[in-house]
Amino acid sequence: MFRGPRGGLALLFAAVSLGVGTAALMAAKIEVDVQHNPNANFAAIASYTWLPSPPPTTEAAPGTMRDPLAVQRELDPIIVGAVDVELQKRGIRKLAKDGDVQVVYYLSHGATINAHTLGSYYSYAADFYVYLPPGGGQTTAVRVIEEGSLVIDVVDDARAIWRGTAGAQINRENDDAKRYKLIRDAVKKLFDRWPKK
């Protein structure tokens, strides 16, 4: 987080541009949501087939993040493997084709900026400013928040009967082992809410 006198915003954006463009992805705290069709017969599902996942969506300026397709290629075996483990724990086996249901995942990545200024409406100057420009004594705090989402659909007859969504803020300091564990943990949390047979 950056704090400083007014005008330091340009330095912050330069630092953010460098950091966002070069670091690796992934997050810390996982939020999950699961929805399912209450009329679907989950007890009858004995097998599944994977559908190809579409390209990830991004909500960020071009060049500020890694290539989304490269990220998907890297994470695909981790996501597919984690889902395979969870479905097979529930007695549902993977088939190359013609499964009872189909499974597909979607990735999304975006960034938001949270900024606020303190001091612009206060009548007292801070003692630590030697020169106070007009409106002086202000402190600006800016925070870039990156978020990633994983959506998993279980599809029957071209309609999703189960959807799990996991989202988290991205922590670029995590190494691959931590990132992959986070994905596996997210998938497990989602499938912990799979309807009981």
The per-residue pLDDT for range 32-47, each reduced to its tens digit, is: 999 999 999 999 999 9
Instruction: Give the pLDDT confidence of 22-77 residue by residue, as tens digits.
Output: 233 333 588 999 999 999 999 999 999 999 998 887 766 566 566 778 888 888 99
Cβ count near 194 (within 10 Å): 19
Return the sign of the alpha-carbon dihedral for residues 62, 65, 70, 75: negative
Close Cβ partners of 24 (under 8 Å, ≥ 6 residues apart): 66, 172, 174, 175, 176, 179
Structural domains of the chain, ranges and CATH numbers in brackets: 2-129+141-191 (3.30.160)
Non-local (6+) Cβ contacts of 157 within 8 A are none
Predicted TM-score (pTM) of this structure = 0.69
